[in-house]
Every structure is written in structure tokens, then in C-alpha cells.
Structure 1
Amino acid sequence: MDPVTEHAPKVVRSDEEWRRLLNPAEYHVLRQAGTERPFTGEYTDTKTVGVYSCRACGAELFRSDAKFESHCGWPSFFTPLAGHAVIERTDTSLGMRRVEVLCARCHSHLGHVFSGEGYDTPTDLRYCINSVSLRLVPSEAE
């Protein structure tokens, strides 16, 4: 069984509930698949050690040790936490084929994943994630 669903139930809320729980910027990105402007997110240049969780439901998504500087304008990670924290699906909006990344627990939009860009990472993947989709929980050693 998927560790995400095994330990935490899926989060299902109505659109009205999401609107009450999220501020307008969070709602736009997380529930309407929007994108924050590049180089404006609070985690773009963050080096704090910890775990990045879904801002909508709190599910753990990425570890800081998988974060790298891609200079693309958004926080970038080379792998999600445990491999089961996110869902990937084809996105053909904007007239191109991309792979959208969603939280496996609440299906909120996080960003996109790109491959084959020549990054010197263990996976050659770049999970390009909106800061507004994340909440950094610093490690206790910090």
C-alpha cells in the first residue's frame, strides 16, 4: 500500500471549504493550477534544513537535502520524499506537454517536473515547485 494513504487519509474538501482555508494566492496555485511569479517565492533561495510540506493539507513532500539551485525562479528538488508523496500527470495546457505535480494526499497543484535538462543531480529531474504550495518545517537541529 502507498505509504501516503496508509498513514494519512486522503483530504477531500469542497471548493468552498478550500476558499475559506487558503488565501487568494494559495487558492490560485493549489486549487486552480496557477503559478507564482518567478523569483518571488519565499523558498526560492532558502537553505534551511527541514521538510517541505503541502500548504493545503500538511503532507510531507520534499526534504531540504533534495533541494538544489536550478536558477529557474522557483524552488527545485531532484526527488520527492519517499517517492509516494506526489502524483504526476500530463498537462497539455499552454499549448505544450508538461508533467504536472500534485500532492498525493489532497491533489493540490504544486508545480511541474522536468527531465533531461542536464542537471548534476542523482535523478536528472527538476521538480519545479511553487513556494506558495509549500510550508517549510525546519529540522529540530536548526
Structure 2
Amino acid sequence: MKNLFEEKVYVEIRERLAQLSPESNRQWGKMSPAQMLHHCQAPLNIMLEKNDYGLKPNWLAKVVFKKALYNDKPWRKNLPTAKAMKETTERDFTTEMKQLESLLEEVHNHRNRDEWPEHPGFGHFTKAQYGQMQYKHLDHHLRQFGL
């Protein structure tokens, strides 16, 4: 599984993001490109302890879904989104792109950090699992727009 902490993977994600435009057509789902950019900031904000989105520990999520967050199997289309991370407000594409790029850079700047905080809903992730999960989430949404 690709890991966002790897230099070439970080570059890949940045290059794919650069191909996104406000006019990009989604292949599935309801979010516009700007809404998707805003939504993709949430897991990074959680990881960087900037916002916990009101998520609470969930034993069912830990037992049933946690491994799917970082394993090699791509997420299927139209997966349900956690209520706290649903995006229905229209957003400014340029603002959201800059914010996501900034968060990605911040995570990248911490790539040598070994310990990361517990996820408020899923509990402990290793550094590798966090990097894989972040890649998998971004990849899922870039594929949503054909990238």
C-alpha cells in the first residue's frame, strides 16, 4: 500500500491534485471539486490535532472498519461519509485547494515523526497506517474525479 509519508507518493498526490479544476466531472458521489477538497482536509486535520470533528471512540468502527482504512483494497464507490465530515456547503475551489495543499505540506514536513495521536474514532494507528490511510482517502477522492 502506498504511504503518504513516502516522497514519491507525496509528489504523486500533489501532481494529481494539480490536475483537478472547478469544472472536473465527478464519476460518482455528490460533492463538487471544491467540496471534495474541503472534505479531504478533515482526516489531515484530525491527524495534526487541529480538529476532532466531534468524533467519539467507536468500538464497532475499530473492530469492523479500521483495517479497511489502510489495507491494499481500494474503497468502493459511494461509500457513506461520516456525518461530521459530510460536505454540503458550496466552497471556493482556490481557497480549498490552497488549504489542502498547506495541510499536505504540513504532514509531509512531519514525515520523520514516529508517534502520532490517537484517532478520536478509531484509536491508535501506527505511522505507517496513518500514512497509508491518508493516501487511500486522497486516492479515493481523486479517482472520484477521474484522476
- Does the alignment reach a TM-score above 0.5? no
Flag the structure with higher strand content: 1
Flag the structure with higher helix content: 2
Tell me the TM-score normalized by structure 1.
0.26
Tell me the TM-score normalized by structure 2.
0.26
Ranked by relative contact order (alpha carbons within 8 Å, sequence separation 6 or more), the top structure is: 2
